[in-house]
Structure 1
Amino acid sequence: MTEKQKMLAGLIYDANNDPDLIQERLRCKERCYDYNQLRPSEVEQQQQLIRQLFGKTQTHFSLVAPFWCDYGYNIEIGENFYANHNCVILDGAKVTFGDNVFIAPDCGFYTAGHPLDVERRNQGLEYAYPITVGDNVWFGGGVKVMPGVTIGSNSVIAAGSIVTTDIPDNVLAAGVPCRVIRPLTEQDRHRT
């Protein structure tokens, strides 16, 4: 089994010493660099680069530079996806965003994790678990989502949260670690 196959299967793999994975990350970083150098008015070129980079895109999406990811091909975005400045997606595993997902500045989605055992960690070993985000989710500024998390549709993740466990549909969640604060209600439709 190759290191890439291990990575995609959610097994411990050698990310830091495998020449194929190193080369894939380098190619991805080059594309991200190219994307980040485009002028804001060069929307067609931006979308073309993202379509080449990501595993799946829809018709309408926007990512405000700078944007960084590790591989790109493990990222799938739904219709009307929006990510503001400084979005980072470490996509050793699949990262799937539903439709109408809004991401405020300085958010990170990290599928990669490292062993707690210092010897294995110092060997460059890591794992990657998928992140899944439903439809109509809003992430406030500075949110970080950890490996293996699923966030339900129609939920709001408050600014500064660190999401370490699954979040259900239709809730406001906040904190470090992030937890459900309350369900979203009909009254929330009328608040600004």
Structure 2
Amino acid sequence: MATEKQKMLRGDLYTAGDPELVSDAAAASVWLARYNTASAAPASERHAMLAEALGHVGDGATVRSPFHCDYGYNIYLEDGVFLNFGCIVLDVVSVRIGAGTQIGPGVQILTADHPRDPAIRAKMLEFGRPVVIGRNVWIGAGALILPGVTIGDDAIVGAGSVVTRDVAAGTTVMGIPARVATKDDPGSRT
């Protein structure tokens, strides 16, 4: 029989209030409090702190405080990833961010999802769907990346966009919900 944590990591229905998961979340909260108060520490020290809690932290990866996540161990940052102030990552399953990707302030990356059937949802069950963000992606301030989304290499997500579907490599999307930008959209010109 699988534990609730094993179910969570597989993306199956699980109970978030399970004691093991509550303990993992509490440990992450302690780490986050320490990390978020160390904003003036040298970059090398902050990088080492990230490596303590996250699944992978590549060379030169930077996460500005405040930063918030569920567990941390499901977050994988490749070389040179940059997360600006106030990012939130709900990492009940994996969040993978490719090399050189820049994420603006206040961006939310969500993997946690809930059953659509109200009877199942009433049992306080949830599940996760992984998020994959490619290399050299730029995600503008305040964007919201929903569960299960993949964003291809070299894509751009406009500020304030809500990304509900996959974004093809090299594509610019913007809006609520995010749609492929045309040359006439404000902010799509470089």
TM-score range (shorter-chain normalised) is over 0.9
Structure 2 counterparts to residues 61-140 of structure 1, below 5 A: 61-140=61-140
Corresponding residue SS for 2:173: strand
Q: Is the 8 A contact 2:39 2:64 kept in 1?
A: no
Q: Distance in 1 between matches of 2:159 and 2:39?
A: 28
Long gaps (5+) in structure 2: none
CA contact (8 A) 1:3 1:13 kept: yes
How many residue pairs were aligned?
185
Residue by residue, what CA displacement relative to the aligned partner does 1:14-47 show, whole Å, maximum 9, x if unpaired?
11x2000010011011101110011424323311
Residue 29 of structure 1 aligns to a residue whose secondary structure is helix
CA RMSD across the alignment? 1.6
Q: Give the match for residue 47 of structure 2.
A: 47
Q: How big is the shift at 1:102?
A: 0.4
By how many angstroms is 1:182 displaced? 4.2
User: Which residue does the alignment assign to 2:7?
Assistant: 6
Per-residue deviation, 1:49:
1.2
* Pairwise CA distance, 1:61: 1.2
Alpha-carbon distance in 2 for matches of 1:79, 1:42: 18
Letter of the 1:47 partner, please give it.
H
The one-character-per-residue Cα deviations of 1:153-182 (angstroms, maximum 9, x if unpaired) are: 001000001111100000110111112114
d(CA) in 1 for partners of 2:70, 2:39: 22
Q: Whole-Å Cα distance in 1 between the matches of residues 40 and 102 of structure 2?
A: 19
The one-letter code of the counterpart of 1:36 is N
**How many Å separate the matches in 1 of 2:159 and 2:120?**
33
> Could you list the per-position Cα deviations for residues 121-174 of structure 1 after superposition, in whole angstroms to 9, with x for gaps in the alignment?
233211101000000000101001111100000010000011111000001101
SS at match of 1:141: coil
Structure 1 CA distance, aligned partners of 2:131 and 2:44? 28
> Percent of aligned pairs with the same residue?
35
For the residues of structure 1 that align with 2:163 and 2:13, how far apart are their CA atoms?
22
| 1:120 CA drift (Å) | 2.6
Paired residues of 1:171 and 1:182 also in contact (CA < 8 A): no
The 1-side partners of 2:145 and 2:32 are apart by: 21
Aligned amino acid, residue 153 of structure 1: D
Q: Which position in structure 1 is the counterpart of 2:31?
A: 31
> What amino acid sits opposite 2:5 in the alignment?
K
TM-score normalised by L of structure 1: 0.91
- In the alignment, the residues of structure 2 paired with residue 170 and residue 42 of structure 1 have an alpha-carbon distance, to the nearest angstrom, of 34
> Could you list the runs of 4 or more consecutive aligned residues of structure 1 that deviate by over 3 angstroms after TM superposition?
none
Stretches of structure 1 lacking an aligned partner (at least 5 in a row): none
Give yes or no for the alignment of 1:153 onto 2:153.
yes
Counterpart amino acid of residue 126 in structure 1: E
